[in-house]
Amino acid sequence: MTWESLKSILPLSIKNAGLKEQITSQNVLLGAEKILKARWGEDQAQYISFVSFKDGVLNVSATSPAAMQVLKLEKINFINAVNHLIGERAVLKIEIRSNGF
């Protein structure tokens, strides 16, 4: 039996265990929040919540009509930034829903 590095075994093990989707989902949600706070600052970012990610769709909840509109205008750039941060083309679409107004 030959020795294989953890780096070469881990991706296949994650995929076989069915964890890849869960890990990608968490990476997308955390990455999206990080990018939003970096671009908008803490005060404006509080109006946007990243709810879930599944099958390439990032679900977002907005508590401010203005924040919702700005995110809609920046949608393509935001998708590209999140995908670049996590290192794969995972986010294909953003669904924005209003909450509280």
**pTM to 2 decimals?**
0.80
The pLDDT score that the predictor gives to residue 99 is 84
CATH number of 8-98: 3.30.300.180
**What confidence score (pLDDT) does residue 19 get?**
77
Report d(CA 38, CA 48) in Å as an integer. 13
Q: What b/e string do you get for 53-73 counting C-beta neighbours within 10 Å, with b at 16 or more? A: beeeebbbbbebeebbebbee
Give residue-wise pLDDT tens across range 11-55.
Answer: 777 677 667 788 899 999 999 999 999 999 999 999 999 999 999
**Please, which residues have CB within 8 angstroms of residue 44's CB and are 6 or more apart in sequence?**
67
Higher pLDDT, 67 or 6: 67
80-100 residue pLDDT tens: 999 999 999 999 999 999 986
Half-sphere exposure of 17 (CA within 13 A, CB side): 10
Distance CA 86, CA 53 (A): 13
